[in-house]
Chain A
Amino acid sequence: MTLAAGIGYALLALGPSLSLFVSVISKKPFLILTVLSSTLLWLSSLIVLSGVWRGFLPLKSTSRWPYGLLIFTSIAFQEGLRVLFWKVYKRLEDLLDDFADRVSKPRLYQTDKMEIALAGGLGHGVAHAVFFCLSLLTPAFGPATFFVDRCSQLPFFLVSAIIALAFVTIHTFSMVIAFNGYAEGNKVDQVFVPVVHLVAGMVGVASSVYLSFISLQA
């Protein structure tokens, strides 16, 4: 709606991650590099998904099943990528430990490992927020606002910013939980993360089914 509103929406989506970045990540250069590479990885995953689904878009069907399938496949792909990320991280951890031995410094502490996982998760969250919310915010800096049919009570930018905030939180801490789960072989943690991701994604589909159901009744 104005410059202030645009900045407000951007901060709504990315405020906590910005403060996390400034307080934790910016102190250690390696973590900044981890955030950047993690963001790049998830951007690539989004590009691959869009490449796969491009032929089917725009989905014009009135039923919601195609959307459900889209979300399900995307989440499944991203969770698979998380496992791959974990494997790469294990190799990196070995390299770092070797390097630490060479320069006669202590090996990676537990907090270091969790910080790297946090940085990886933050990269994932930032990738989501940037591409699903920030990049669509350009009209919000102008004089008007925009409403979508799906949720006509709130401006679209506000809705996407709030959802992006939620997803940033989910992604950031999922990575920590997942890495912890993979490291200790804790099955509960390992399953918890994809389930949460799936539920969060599917809620979007389910709410649209609900709304269409409501509108059918009325």
Chain B
Amino acid sequence: MAQNTKPTSILDSLGEEIIRIIAPVSICMFMVVILVSVLDSSSSSSTSASVTSIATIAYSETNSDSSWDKFVGALLNSLVFVAVVTAVTFILVLLFYLRCTKFLKLYMGFSAFVVLGFMGGEIALFLIEDFSIPVDCITFVVALFNFAVVGVLAVFMSKMAILVTQAYLVVIGMLVAYWFTQLPEWTTWLLLVAMALYDLAAVLLPVGPLRLLVELAISRDEDIPALVYEARPVTHNDSGAVGRVAQRRVWRGRSGENSDHGSNNNPNANSVFVENVDSGSNSTSNASVVPDSSTESNTLVSGHNDATLVRAEEGWVPERDAELSAPLIDPRMNIQPQQSELEGIGLGSSGAIKLGLGDFIFYSVLVGRAAMYDFMTVYACYLAIIAGLGITLALLALYQKALPALPVSIALGVLFYVLTRFLLEVFVVECSLNLLMF
């Protein structure tokens, strides 16, 4: 076939890293939309019996308040929430600074267990109730327990197949996002905006906790103990300009490789920080709250570090390349230009793009909340969020340092939601019902 003799075009592989991040984000959003539409259509009137949590501690929205009251109340709620998240993140930075990594990892595993076991269990119970699935208690408990334990192992230890780890991270994001969508409407929207602003401040300001955390981690050459989704890196045999060698991103925390990574005593800590605060035992629907304080993972870290770290990593690259490229990468790039021979093996092995789980969660919350209105807003917000993510990734490639992933996407998402809800829907419905399409 002529295809084999023709050299492969750049179009075959360009943009693959971006797709590897967009795909799980899309899957998470899609699952949250499905959950919201399936579970909400059944429990239509119980929205007023809303979740009592730390995010509604200042004000509980009822249907009878005026718009201004709702706005002010929601503003207070979100300020309280952001304050709590800031405090917790600073505590996290302090603990990281004091090298209490064992405690952090244990807490991380515990939180993952709670999210998967209890929240996942409650959602599973809702689903069983809705669809009348015949399953008995003992089977359910055993299955749930196993599910939760495997999930804890997947995020806690690094020796799992990477697909399992990624799947569990997406599931955790989905569960937390679903619980956030149960908050009252105004509170949710203002909370999203507040978190986007907080993210912007925390990552970019010199005194921001997330920036301190990232700098500490870089200076110590350790992984941040947080729930971070890491896309599988793309291995090219021949890509990259000459300058890429020194800038080759550090390949961190790959499952299975950490055992030979002697210098890193933080075995791919993908810890979650879910703050469980019991805010009122008399609330029937949800006693535990989840202000996801894995906000330190709201950064988009390119994995690029300075040259010293690269040198430390260089020796390990050949094994990794072989390990990774054999099962995964389609060996289509058979061209070996001179550059790769000069620089040796491992040229262009790019690091993975990391996206904090908090970003997954807040994107899905936005889309889930849009789903509670109508599907048109869902599509519009989805496109807006993906566009925002693309812009953030482009900025990441430009600035090569940790960037907040929330602000651009949330801004675009909220903008498109408002525009779609108030402008586009009327227009499209009017045109469609008159069968006037263009």
- Chain A residues 166-214 with CB under 8 Å of chain B are 167, 197, 200-201, 204-205, 207-208
Closest residue of B by beta carbon distance from A102: B241
Task: Find out whether the CB atom of B7 lies under 8 angstroms from the CB atom of A106.
Answer: yes
Could you tell me if A201 and B423 are in contact, using CB atoms closer than 8 angstroms?
A: no
Partner of A130, one of B8, B374, B379, B384: B379
Residue of A nearest to B387 (CB): A40
Considering only residues 397-438 of chain B, those with a C-beta below 8 Å from chain A are 416, 419-420, 423-424, 426-438
A101 to chain B, nearest CB (A): 10
Q: How far is the CA of A71 from the CA of B432 in the complex (A)?
A: 12
Contact B390 A148 (CB under 8 A): no
Would you call A37 an interface residue if the criterion is a C-beta within 8 Å of the partner chain's C-beta atoms?
Answer: yes
The stretch of B13-21, B44-52, B113-121, B157-165 that contacts the partner chain: B13-21
Q: Find out whether the CB atom of A105 lies under 8 angstroms from the CB atom of B434.
A: no
Interface assignment of B322: CB less than 8 Å from any CB of chain A: no
Q: Verify if B39 is at the interface (C-beta below 8 Å from A).
A: no
B430:A58 contact, CB within 8 angstroms: yes
Contact A36 B9 (CB under 8 A): no
Q: Are A208 and B238 in contact (CB under 8 A)?
A: no
**B27 at interface, CB cutoff 8 A:** no
- Complex Cα spacing A78 to B16, Å: 30
What is the size category of the interface that chain A forms with chain B?
35 or more
> A15-23, A24-32, A83-91: which lies at the B interface?
A24-32
Instruction: Write the nearest CB–CB distance from B383 to chain A, whole angstroms.
Output: 5
- Interface bits B365-395 vs A (CB < 8 Å: 1, else 0): 0000000001110011001101100100000
Is B10 part of the binding interface, using a Cβ–Cβ cutoff of 8 Å? yes
A54 and B427 in contact, given A104-B337, A159-B435 (Cβ under 8 angstroms):
yes
* Option from B375, B423, B430 in Cβ contact (under 8 Å) with A138: B375
Contact yes or no, B238 A103, CB < 8 A: yes
A105/B435 contact (C-beta < 8 A), A28-B12, A29-B19 known = no
Cα–Cα, bound, A80→B144 (Å): 56
How many A-B Cβ pairs are below 8 Å? 164
Is A82 located at the chain interface by the 8 A CB criterion? no
Complex alpha-carbon distance, A29 and B10, angstroms: 11
A50→B426 contact, CB < 8 A: yes
> How long is the Cα–Cα vector from A210 to B354 in the complex, in angstroms?
58
A53 at interface (Cβ–Cβ under 8 A)?
A: yes
Partner of B380, one of A32, A43, A96, A151: A43
Given contacts A70-B431, A74-B438, A163-B435, 12 further A-B contacts (CB under 8 A): A31-B11, A47-B419, A49-B427, A57-B426, A131-B428, A133-B432, A135-B379, A160-B435, A160-B437, A197-B438, A201-B438, A204-B434
Q: Which residues of A contact B (CB under 8 A)?
A: 27-33, 36-37, 39-40, 43, 46-47, 49-51, 53-54, 57-59, 67, 70-71, 74-75, 78, 96, 99-100, 102-106, 108-109, 112, 115-116, 128, 130-138, 148, 150-151, 156, 159-160, 163-164, 167, 197, 200-201, 204-205, 207-208
- What would 12 A/B residue contacts be, using CB atoms closer than 8 Å? A29-B16, A33-B390, A47-B423, A67-B434, A105-B8, A105-B9, A109-B9, A128-B438, A135-B375, A136-B376, A138-B374, A204-B437
